[in-house]
Amino acid sequence: MSDHPSSQVAAAAPKRSALYILGLLLTLAAVPAYLLLINVPILRSTGLVAFILMGGGLLVGAAGAKRDARLRTRIVGGINALLVATGVYMFIWGAMLPASETAADMDRLTDFTLPDQNEKPVQLASLYAKGPTLLVFYRGHW
């Protein structure tokens, strides 16, 4: 956005810049961008695209605050920074799972019998007796 220099009054009209809005939009774009690319392993694991967008959002927002001293830009800038801090916290600490010593130390699988998707009981040992088997625990449909 361009400045609006006043031609008549000695004190210049308040400078305005929409960069502070753009900064916030970039930060907000980090979440959908991350979700869109979630099936790319390296991007999912590092969160690279999200961090780039959040970093860009902060930089653009800061540039906007330098050019535009209105209260609203400061408030939005504060919200922007808060969102980035929350995002970083959630990605790094909020995503941590409990440690599992049992699973880390298990040398032989503990046998069990559970119902399959057709409610038929299936015993683990009967599966791996037939050949190399990959047992996968997953979070479920959540």
Asked whether position 104 contacts other proteins by CB under 8 A, the answer is yes
Asked whether position 115 contacts other proteins by CB under 8 A, the answer is yes
Q: CA 33, CA 47: separation in Å to the nearest integer?
A: 10
Instruction: Note every long-range contact of 139-142, with CB atoms under 8 Å and residues 24 or more positions apart, other chains counting.
Output: none
Asked whether position 8 contacts other proteins by CB under 8 A, the answer is no
Answer for which of 9, 10, 11, 96 binds other proteins (CB under 8 A) is: 96
Answer for which of 29, 63, 79, 124 binds other proteins (CB under 8 A) is: 124
Rounded least distance, CB 45 to other proteins, Å: 5
Answer for which of 25, 31, 44, 70 binds other proteins (CB under 8 A) is: 44
Q: Kindly determine how many residues on this chain lie close enough to bind other proteins according to the rule CB under 8 A.
A: 47
Q: CA 20, CA 27: separation in Å to the nearest integer?
A: 11
Answer for which of 2, 7, 8, 110 binds other proteins (CB under 8 A) is: 110
With contact defined as beta carbons under 8 Å apart, do 120 and 127 qualify? no
Token pair belonging to 142 = 């959540």
Asked whether position 7 contacts other proteins by CB under 8 A, the answer is no
Which residue in the block uniquely carries the two structure tokens 């009054």? 9
**Which of 89, 86, 78, 92 lies closest to 23, judged by CA?**
78
Q: CA 139, CA 118: separation in Å to the nearest integer?
A: 20
Rounded least distance, CB 88 to other proteins, Å: 14
Asked whether position 119 contacts other proteins by CB under 8 A, the answer is yes
Q: How many CB atoms lie within 10 A of CB 56?
A: 16
**By the criterion CB under 8 A, which residues form the site for other proteins?**
41, 44-45, 47, 91, 95-104, 106-112, 114-119, 122, 124-125, 127-142
